[in-house]
Amino acid sequence: MSGIEEVPADRFEHGTRSRYVKGCRCTPCRTANTAYANARFRELKLGRAGRGDLVDATPARLHLVKLSRAGVGRRAAARAAGVAISVVFDVRSGAKEKIRRTTAEKILAVTTDAKLGAALVDAKRTLKRLEQLQKLGLSKSAIARRLGSKGKQPALQIAGPYVTKRNALAVIELLDQVKAGIAAARAATRICAACDFSHEEGPRLEQLKGFTPEERAELPRTWPCLYGGERGARRLAEDLTKLA
């Protein structure tokens, strides 16, 4: 309700559109209504429609077509825009030639981020992330299990060229979790960012056991933060003595 319906007609003066809306058809009231209609028409022609005014639905329809080609269906677009799916359907099909400006703005604001979980997206980035996970030490079966596979022998079913958005997001989340776990482990064992090696004595000595004499001779150069300079040389000598 606008409020005018609840107000008596005699509260408005003759020569106003409000009195015309209340039913008066005297010459001054008809003149006021004509002036309002002409002004509103000019605003519409200039693209300055009010939020409740009707506007051409073509831009919204073309935008829905573009979204559809990018994998955003009518249901996803309606959910993202916050409008009824029947409205989106009518706009997309051309059944609605005019829609409210607010509805048009909501539809035009929808982006390809509105894809539902079942929508298909390009698998290239997902496949690269899966390769990263394997390089970080996860087997395909481990990845499948972490992604929710319930089989006795989990198998990774993601191939390409397309993957569901739901799976793409799940792989991103898993990669973030694995990286965060590695970062936490490095922090816990004080892994050095320069040499990629723990400065803690126990882990350091444990890894040194697997080095050949030639590799140990190169340590002042390969791990200068640990064994570089005079102080590093003394530490290396002490470590090698502990291993003897």
Sorted by where each begins, the domain ranges of the chain are 4-45, 54-114, 120-189, 201-243
114 touches 72 (CB < 8 A): yes
**33-43 average pLDDT score:** 73
- Please say if the pLDDT value at position 167 is more than 90: no
- Please say if the pLDDT value at position 4 is more than 50: no
- To 5 degrees, how large is the angle CA 162–CA 163–CA 167? 170
Which amino acid type is present at position 140?
A: K
Cα Rg, the chain, nearest whole Å: 35
- Burial of 108 per CB tally in 10 Å (0-12, 13-18, 19+): middle
pLDDT at 222: 79
pLDDT at 61: 92
Backbone CA torsion sign across 23, 29, 34, 37: negative
Average pLDDT, the chain: 80
- Please say if the pLDDT value at position 66 is more than 80: yes
Scan for tokens 């706009």, then name that residue. 91
Report for 120-124, 130-134, 150-154: range of highest mean pLDDT: 130-134
What does the block give as tokens for 125? 């980035």
- Please say if the pLDDT value at position 45 is more than 70: no
Higher pLDDT, residue 22 or 97: 97
pLDDT tens digits, 178-233: 888 777 666 655 666 666 666 777 777 877 777 788 888 888 887 888 888 888 88
Higher pLDDT, residue 162 or 119: 162
- Helices within 46-164 (DSSP H only): 58-69, 74-81, 85-93, 101-108, 124-135, 140-146
Distance of alpha carbon 240 from alpha carbon 118, whole angstroms:
58
pLDDT at 203: 72
Q: How confident is the model at residue 2 (pLDDT cuts 50, 70, 90)?
A: very low
- Please say if the pLDDT value at position 55 is more than 60: yes
Percentage of the residues of the chain whose pLDDT score is greater than 70: 82
pLDDT at 30: 85
Higher pLDDT, residue 49 or 130: 130
Q: At 23, which helix (H) or strand (E)?
A: none
What does the block give as tokens for 82? 């916050």
Backbone CA torsion sign across 123, 78, 81, 62: positive
Q: At 163, is the secondary structure helix, strand, or coil?
A: strand
**147-166 average pLDDT score:** 78
Helices (H) and strands (E) in the chain, counts: 14, 4
- Its pTM stands at 0.40
What does the block give as tokens for 73? 């269906």
Distance of alpha carbon 191 from alpha carbon 197, whole angstroms:
5
Q: Which of 5-14, 69-78, 205-214, 230-239 has the lowest mean pLDDT?
A: 5-14
162: DSSP letter: E
Count of CB atoms situated within 10 Å of the CB of 19: 22
- Please say if the pLDDT value at position 121 is more than 80: no
pLDDT at 90: 92
- Please say if the pLDDT value at position 48 is more than 60: no
